[in-house]
Amino acid sequence: MRDGFVKVAAASPVIKVADCDYNAERVIECIRRADEQGVKVLVFPELTLTGVSCWDLFKHRVILDGAEKAMLQVVDATEGIDMLVFVGLPMAVGTRLFSVAAAICNGELLGLVPKQYCRDLRFDVPEDGMVYEVALNDYGVVTLAAESLFVSGLLPELAVAVELGEDAEAVISPAALHAGSGATLIARMAAFPATVTSTADAELTARYESRHWSAGMILAAPGKGESTTDRAYSGLCMVAENGTILAEAEGADALAVSEIDVELLTNLRRESGDFDWDSDYEQITWGEEPADTALTRHYNKHPHLPEDPKDLPATCERMIDLQVSGLVKRMEYAHLDHCVVGISGGVDSTLAVMISAMAVKRMGLPATNVIACTMPCFGTSSRTKSNAIVVAEQWGCEVRVIDIGKAVYQHFDDIGHAHDDYSVAFENAQARERTQVLMDIANKVNGLDVGTEDLSEFIDGWCTYNGDHTSMYDVNLGLTKTQVRAAVSHIAQTTGDRVLKAALYDVLDCPVTPELLPIHDDLIEQKSEDAVGSYALQDFFTYHILQDGFTPSKTFRLAKAAYGDEFTDEELKRWLTSWCKRLFSQQFKRSCLMDGPAVMSFTVSPRSGWLIPSDAEAALFLKDLEKL
């Protein structure tokens, strides 16, 4: 269970109603099939060994004895298999009849868990807190308790609770009780029939509850072998985690297999602080064999964006609206009527100038109240300069071209810096001169210097301190580079202005560059991603290391799963190492960031976002990478 992953499955075999011996054979086949795939938790539907549609047969001694015998056959068949299996059957305890889940692992019956809420009057429900001792033929005494928690002996954070049938529909949600008692994984042994909406309903419930309780959920519904006297059954099987359906299967002998990330769930709960371990639940330990879980689940290469293309336009519109709303509020509060934006032809400043144009329009001001300044110097190419001007002009902004070369040379002379010394001072002097120009123009026109740096650049520190790092309000502060690109692409796709569309697509096609070193033959030579790595990768690292709380080594593993052969192991390790070093060394820039709208729950604002000391060490993060 390396990195907190546990492979789980939901199974719904084709059974024969009331034929417990046959059904036990089918269950055992499923267990062996799951074991071949490395499954550690396997969930069957309610009343698996009899079928849910036995009606009054549940009470008959022949069926009860047959179900108990079938259960013990399953127990014996699991010897040598380190897997927690939940299989359903009716169980008589004195004069009471329960629908129970038998928890089985490695040839041992760990316990019985009864259904707690029943619409079917054939079954009883246990009294609150009641624990029964059940004597089984040829086996011994087993505990039957509703409040049971099955805790992994290898991964203590993996605690499994089970609910049967209508338990999921109770007024007091068992999922809430389980989650509040430390269960990170809920085994839902369902009994519902198939309808035209049953699959969609089950998906909605699994998404909501697993997200709301920061839990994993394994759901198995009755299969094709059930009686169709009054109802039909589909064999729906599903695995969900924190609002996402990881695997789903429906049909004859359905088996849904995926990996639940228990570390992620634990991190989410630790961050919320809303979950406590309730000692009232009886804790039963299972699992002895270590396992390195092979990953089959899918990981989004761009986790800050929706993966389904149909969801992307709405996401982009929402991001843009948040940026515009934040800028309008700041300008109205400060009684300002102009936006001043430094435009470079890069994707960040392109989005910033368009957001500014939208903001002044919303305020009822003319587009010319946006002053777009392009400030060419030693590294500016005609391509980027042209795109910057075209975008600004097509939005109706006032464009000012201010060559800062003479001012920068004068500054070099003032500080005694050689004109051909291309060290960091050469680059930073240009960035700081541009910031000075923008702020002074903003003061002159009763305006706001609108910043263009994005969240990705603030995390890796790819900005000049008190240069492009600084502004009066940064509209891109809460967007990653991948989100900025998505927003610009969305505007390009939806605009009816063909000139603007062409310029925006060329902006997106240009490499990311600070344009601070001299160029030759008007070609872009200084490329940011050559120094700090792919921004798509950087945003992937940010999501999983900072937002999910994963180790760099685990993030490396997920990056390999997401990107396949796009990057070699050496490249991934090199850029991960670079990202970790820059995360710590560049914190001083994040400690004094200006205001800007957050568009996600994650931000690096020093007032309300993710924060570390400016002199914290990266040593342990780098040491973790030595495992690779």
DSSP one-letter string for 244-292 = EEEEEE-STTEEEEEEEEHHHHHHHHHHH------TTSEEEEE--S---
In angstroms, rounded to a whole number, what is the distance separating the alpha carbons of residues 481 and 462?
12
Per the structure block, which two tokens stand in for 132? 């029964």
Which residue, among 315, 299, 267, has the nearest Cα to 539 in the 3D structure? 299
Task: Decide the pairing of beta strands 338-342 and 370-374.
Answer: parallel
Q: Nearest-CA neighbor of 48 among 77, 78, 28?
A: 28
b vs e for 465-498, b when ≥16 Cβ sit within 10 Å of the residue's Cβ?
eebbbbbbbbbbbbbbbbbbbbbbbbbbeeeeee
Which residues, 6+ apart, have CB-to-CB distance to 8 below 8 Å?
39, 40, 41, 42, 43, 185, 216, 218, 239, 257, 258, 259, 260
Neighbours of 82 (CB within 10 A): 17
CATH class, domain 2-286, is: alpha beta
Give the number of residues written for the chain. Answer: 628
| Contact status, residue 126 vs residue 137, Cβ threshold 8 Å | no
Alpha-carbon Rg for the chain, nearest whole angstrom, is: 31
| CATH class given for the domain over 309-625 | alpha beta
Q: How far is CA 149 from CA 10, 106, 188, 422, in A?
A: 19, 17, 14, 64
Residues contacting 196, CB < 8 A, separation 6+: none
Domains of the chain, by residue range, sit at 2-286, 309-625
One-letter amino acid of 369: N
At residue 236, what is the residue type?
L
- Alpha helices, DSSP H, located in 445-513: 455-460, 481-494, 498-509
- Residue 524: what pLDDT? 45
> For residue 222, what pLDDT is reported?
95
Could you report the per-residue pLDDT of 134-154, keeping only the tens digit for each? 889 888 899 999 888 999 988
List helix spans (H) across 97-187: 174-180
Measured CA to CA, the distance from residue 615 to residue 587 in angstroms comes to 8
DSSP codes joined into one string, 344-411? -SSHHHHHHHHHHHHHHHHTT--GGGEEEEE---TT--HHHHHHHHHHHHHTT-EEEE---HHHHHHH
Check if the beta carbon of residue 53 is closer than 8 Å to that of residue 231: yes
Place of tokens 């309903």: 201
**pLDDT per residue as tens digits for the range 332-359:** 999 999 999 999 889 999 999 999 999 9
Residue with tokens 């009883």: 124
Instruction: Extract the residue ranges of the chain whose pLDDT is less than 50.
Output: 517, 519, 522-526
